[in-house]
A and B are shown apart, each in its own frame.
Chain A
Amino acid sequence: MTRLREVGTERIKRGLAQMLKGGVIMDVTTPEQARIAEDAGAVAVMALERVPADIRAQGGVARMADPARIKAIMAAVTIPVMAKVRIGHFVEAQVLEAIGVDFIDESEVLTPADEHHHIDKRRFRVPFVCGARDLGEALRRIGEGAAMIRTKGEAGTGNVVEAVRHVRQILDEIRRLQALPEEELMSAARDLRAPYELVLEVRRLGRLPVVNFAAGGIATPADAALMMQLGCDGVFVGSGIFKSEDPARRARAIVDAVAHYDDPDAVARACEGLGEPMRGLDVRRLEPAELLQTRGG
């Protein structure tokens, strides 16, 4: 007995994220940048109005990009195109689904539209990626239907320290779950503020049940390989490429470093002669209100 053809199932949504593993997803603001990213070997591009470093510098309310801009980028490349919506702004998400964006990032980099609720992502056929700083946050997003998780890091800083903190935090909490006796898992779920069933699944798998990328501050091939060796499935690079001196060359170098992350000779070759990286910020000198990672939770 044959079953029906189905679109937008959980495994179709998570499946696209699985196809992106071992790859680099690059922020772009124009069709020309998108083509540079594709030629460098990006597995997807994130279509934006402004990269996070400019959002940080210019201030104001950051919103979903103009659909015309996103469509122009979609027309320029054959790789998947992602775009960001504000946390909780489900109408922006409906708009992106309507124009055919392949993946939606419900992102703390934009100004939140709802301080209490994230989007019910199960209602959409298009998969979502969401940021997380710890295991509880990751599992709440997956519970809402996220098909992919990324560390929040601290976007637009060119400083990898927060992404490292977040991935280590998630891995540490997974290891702790695995060490707990079964009767303590309900309390663990309560403390994590995470759905109990997902806590059980993470304990069984020893990892998140969806693909987990690094994001927020990655600026060099060595940063990217670091996140891969720490256990991430792939890397988002935002401002790090098009805020550097030679974007095409740096983009290609980061792709090479992610593909060969466990080969120091290959990473060394990727790091050579790239010109100036983006300037970067010391995260400790940012005011609490300037932090993007504390949005959503």
Chain B
Amino acid sequence: MFVRVGVLALQGDVSEHAQALAEAGAEPVLVRTPQALEGVQALVLPGGESTTLGALMARCGLDQAIRRRVQEGMPVFGTCAGLILMARRASDGEPPLLGLMDVAVERNAYGRQRESFEDDVVCPAVDPHPFRVAFIRAPVITGVGEGVEVLARHEGLPVLVREGRLLAATFHPEITGYTGVHRYFCSLAAAAGGVG
């Protein structure tokens, strides 16, 4: 299976995601413009600062281009800031950035950086074994719509969610070098119509 997966490369931990995708057997492509988005079959929204990413996407028209591709069925995987971009509702009343997914988020909900942590997450859909991931100034998913499946919880809170071809995590698998979630996303992207 061979899938060209874009990584939104305006800001954030882009190279870490590109490496995880390559290890998962996909071909990572850096996406900085709407033109570059045309050449990919799926997209990863990396960790970074969501306000920065939101502003930069809007300034170069990538927000509209991504929304259009998602309406056409493009799979998207967002981590941390990427999830915030995808969420349709924010508990602090901030307007949605991409508004792709029927979830509500609260930014920096665990506290400041000194409260950031790493821990094991259990998610049988992704891996029969627990895997270690990083929660860095992580958001919390405070509500999920009817069509959203919670794939993993941590301390009772949803941390990995899926709505059709959209996948989002409050944590960073790419920071601890764990590639299972990327493998899961790549198989989802391939099933959605990646070339054989």
Residues of A within 8 A of B (CB): 2-9, 11-12, 15-16, 18-23, 38-44, 74, 78-80, 97, 100-103, 125-127, 255-256, 258-260, 263
Q: How far is the CA of A126 from the CA of B113 in the complex (A)?
A: 7
When the two chains form their complex, are residues B176 and A11 in contact, meaning their CB atoms are under 8 A apart?
yes
A76 to chain B, nearest CB (A): 13
What are 12 A-B interface contacts by the 8 Å CB criterion?
A4-B119, A5-B117, A19-B49, A22-B10, A23-B52, A80-B113, A80-B137, A102-B112, A102-B114, A102-B137, A256-B56, A258-B11
When the two chains form their complex, are residues A8 and B55 in contact, meaning their CB atoms are under 8 A apart?
no
Q: How far is the CA of A5 from the CA of B121 in the complex (A)?
A: 10
The one of B11, B107, B172 that contacts A21, using a Cβ cutoff of 8 Å: B11
**In the complex, chain A residues whose CB is within 8 Å of the CB of B51:** 38, 41, 78-79
Q: Does B74 contact A (CB under 8 A)?
A: no
Q: Does B32 contact A (CB under 8 A)?
A: yes
Q: Does B29 contact A (CB under 8 A)?
A: no
Assess A8 versus B114: contact at CB under 8 Å? Given A18-B16, A102-B137: yes
Q: Does B104 contact A (CB under 8 A)?
A: no
A-B pairs, 3 with minimum CB distance:
A102-B113, A22-B11, A5-B119
- B:8-32 near A, CB below 8 Å: 9-16, 32
When the two chains form their complex, are residues B13 and A125 in contact, meaning their CB atoms are under 8 A apart?
no
When the two chains form their complex, are residues B136 and A22 in contact, meaning their CB atoms are under 8 A apart?
no
**In the complex, chain B residues whose CB is within 8 Å of the CB of A259:** 10-11, 32, 56
A166 to chain B, nearest CB (A): 22
Assess A11 versus B118: contact at CB under 8 Å? Given A3-B132, A78-B107: yes
Assess A5 versus B118: contact at CB under 8 Å? Given A41-B51, A80-B137, A260-B32: yes
**In the complex, chain B residues whose CB is within 8 Å of the CB of A19:** 12-13, 47-49, 80-81, 136-137
**In the complex, chain B residues whose CB is within 8 Å of the CB of A3:** 119-120, 132
When the two chains form their complex, are residues B48 and A43 in contact, meaning their CB atoms are under 8 A apart?
yes
Instruction: Name A43's closest neighbour in chain B (CB-CB).
Output: B49
B156 to chain A, nearest CB (A): 13
Assess A16 versus B116: contact at CB under 8 Å? Given A41-B51, A79-B51: yes
Instruction: Name A14's closest neighbour in chain B (CB-CB).
Output: B175
**In the complex, chain B residues whose CB is within 8 Å of the CB of A15:** 13, 116, 134, 136, 172, 175
Q: A22-B48, A258-B11 are in contact. List 18 more A-B contacts (CB 8 A).
A: A3-B119, A4-B119, A6-B119, A11-B176, A12-B118, A12-B136, A18-B16, A19-B12, A19-B13, A19-B80, A21-B12, A21-B14, A22-B9, A41-B56, A43-B52, A100-B112, A101-B112, A102-B137
Instruction: Name A18's closest neighbour in chain B (CB-CB).
Output: B13
Per-position 1/0 for B90-120, Cβ under 8 A of A? 0000000000000000011001111111111
Q: How large is the interface on B (under 10, 10 to 19, 20 to 34, 35 or more residues)?
A: 35 or more
Q: How far is the CA of A198 from the CA of B119 in the complex (A)?
A: 26
Q: How far is the CA of A258 from the CA of B10 in the complex (A)?
A: 9
Per-position 1/0 for B158-195, Cβ under 8 A of A? 00000000000000100110000000000000000000
Q: Does B145 contact A (CB under 8 A)?
A: no
How many contacting A-B pairs (Cβ < 8 A)? 120
**In the complex, chain A residues whose CB is within 8 Å of the CB of B16:** 18
B74 to chain A, nearest CB (A): 22
B110 to chain A, nearest CB (A): 10
**In the complex, chain B residues whose CB is within 8 Å of the CB of A74:** 112
B114 to chain A, nearest CB (A): 5
Q: Does B130 contact A (CB under 8 A)?
A: yes
Instruction: Name B15's closest neighbour in chain A (CB-CB).
Output: A21
- Interface hub of A5, A18, A42, A103 (most chain B Cβ within 10 A): A18
Instruction: Name B10's closest neighbour in chain A (CB-CB).
Output: A259
When the two chains form their complex, are residues B55 and A41 in contact, meaning their CB atoms are under 8 A apart?
yes
Q: How far is the CA of A21 from the CA of B59 in the complex (A)?
A: 19
B63 to chain A, nearest CB (A): 14
Q: How far is the CA of A18 from the CA of B9 in the complex (A)?
A: 13
Instruction: Name A40's closest neighbour in chain B (CB-CB).
Output: B55
Per-position 1/0 for B51-67, Cβ under 8 A of A? 11001100110000000
When the two chains form their complex, are residues A23 and B112 in contact, meaning their CB atoms are under 8 A apart?
no
Q: How far is the CA of A141 from the CA of B194 in the complex (A)?
A: 46
When the two chains form their complex, are residues B49 and A12 in contact, meaning their CB atoms are under 8 A apart?
no
Q: How far is the CA of A79 from the CA of B9 in the complex (A)?
A: 19
Q: How far is the CA of A66 from the CA of B137 in the complex (A)?
A: 24
Q: How far is the CA of A39 from the CA of B136 in the complex (A)?
A: 22
